[in-house]
Structure 1
Amino acid sequence: MNKRAKEKLVVPFLLALNAGFIDGFSFFHFDYRFIGMQSGNVIQAGISIAKGSIINFWDFAIPIILFILGVITRGFYSYYLTQKGRFEFSSLILLQLSGITILTTIFALGVDLSATLYVGLFSYFMAIQFDAFSKIRELGYSNIIMSGNIKSLASNLTQYILTKKITYLQATRIYMGLIISFFAGIIISVTIGTHFGKWTLLGSSLVLCLVFIITRSEEKMSL
């Protein structure tokens, strides 16, 4: 994976924005299921089992399973790209962009698939984003689940207060940026969702298209 493209700060912020955007939509339009944040689906699946509702359990379990398959697919595809000497970063983004765009179009045109299957298929492509892009400037981060970023923000802020080292302050700013981006994605999605309905998820395609343009241009500059 090209380091220059990977460490462009705007990229993780845009990916966090995309995650908030797509989960903000799925929570309200797909009966409290999540496309990206699978921990929420795990909780709901556990509650369904506790209530004795096997049908509801599968509503949440299927997206989890397809998310796992997405991670596996990403692993094989990354290996193929590496063997062929191709840029991994932009190729993975292009795959996610294509999948999200096609699925959104099918969904918006009213193709009769269950909400569970739609969520699962979207989760399959979101797994690419979650698993492939996990570091920025040597800092581990998540662009889908914010709980780890919140913990890292608090930890680095504490260390900065204690030591006054600028590196901890810089890390704090990065984690804060990720959280704010995710939060902004939710607000934008819910706000425009009332106007664009099922076509709202094309907003995710626009964000991913921007990420692809940025990363591809950075990769070309490294040649």
Structure 2
Amino acid sequence: MLRWIWKYSVKANKIAQTRLMAFILTFCGGFIDAYTYMLRGHTLSAGQTGNIIFFATSLANGNLTGMINRGLTIIGFILGLILVTLLKRYAKNAYWRIFEMIPLIVVSIVLGFLPTSIPNYFIVPITAFGMAMQSGAFRKIEGLGYSNVFTSGNLRKTVLSWSSFYINGDESEKQPAQNYTLLVVAFTTGAVISALLQKMFQVRAIWIASCILVIVNLVYGLMIFRSVNDNGQN
């Protein structure tokens, strides 16, 4: 499998846009979002549409803690996206995406050690920051824009692409429809597995996502290294 991914990636010169990469990152996005919602104050680390609604609800009910938690999470997500833009602009090599995945990896590892008694406004905003960086670093699957940390946009594109394919007979929409369907399945699967594992491992369940992200980052770094070396030899 890894050899196939490597050959495809070098040929297309778009390692970060492979289906498998998008699937794994989106799976982890669903996993972590479900984790923070269920165990860290019913706040979505990446789904800021939901957090805005939660913030408004907390405001209406006079829930100051809820307002702080959701408000800081939204700010953390925004700051993560800004930092992605800055790093991409000033990056001097091909490894910039690796560094942008590190915050989420570190945060997810640390979260597994922290009890639920710790106030969530110390935890979820930094998780949102890491999720935003991952989302900003990996934004395309085979040339198509997508999100790997929430799924509303992917679901919308899935329905529109399949509709164009079946109703309008547009063959060009078949591959996008398949890709977006894959992403919706990945996010949903990640969320479901996260919910199930939390019953057994509680806060430590997030280490599953941590391990996956570490492996992905190492493999991605190796593929970039080989790609850079091959290009240098040609």
CA distance in 2, matches of 1:10, 1:27: 26
The normalised TM-score by structure 2 is 0.84
Partner of 2:146: 141
- Give per-residue Cα distances to partners, 1:64-83, cap 9 Å, x unaligned: 11222222222233333x2x
What is the SS of the residue equivalent to 2:123? helix
Partner of 2:60: 50
Matches within 5 A, 1:10-25: 10-25=20-35
Structure possessing the higher relative contact order (Cα contacts under 8 Å, 6 or more residues apart): 1
Find out whether 1:104 has 2:104 as its counterpart.
no
Partner of 1:115: 120
- For structure 1, which runs of at least 5 residues remain unmatched after alignment? none
Which one is further off, 156-165 or 171-180?
156-165
Partner of 2:14: 4
Find out whether 1:124 has 2:106 as its counterpart.
no
Contact 1:193 1:200 in 2 (8 A): yes
The normalised TM-score by structure 1 is 0.88
2:171 to 144, 147, 166: 166
Question: What is the deviation of 1:163?
Answer: 4.4
* Structural RMSD (CA): 2.1
CA distance in 1, matches of 2:207, 2:34: 14
Aligned positions, number: 217
CA distance in 1, matches of 2:152, 2:102: 27
- For structure 2, which runs of at least 5 residues remain unmatched after alignment? 1-9, 229-234
Find out whether 1:75 has 2:85 as its counterpart.
yes
CA distance in 2, matches of 1:48, 1:194: 27
Identity of counterpart residues, as a percentage? Answer: 23
Partner of 2:95: 87
Q: 1:95 to 1:58 in 2, by over 3 A?
A: closer
Partner of 2:232: none
Contact 2:28 2:187 in 1 (8 A): yes
Contact 1:4 1:218 in 2 (8 A): no
Partner of 1:32: 42
Question: What is the deviation of 1:34?
Answer: 1.0
Contact 1:4 1:219 in 2 (8 A): no
Question: What is the deviation of 1:19?
Answer: 1.0
Question: What is the deviation of 1:111?
Answer: 9.3
- Give per-residue Cα distances to partners, 1:36-83, cap 9 Å, x unaligned: 212111110011222333342112111111222222222233333x2x
Partner of 1:187: 192
- Give per-residue Cα distances to partners, 1:159-182, cap 9 Å, x unaligned: 111443433111111001000000
Which one is further off, 30-39 or 182-191?
30-39
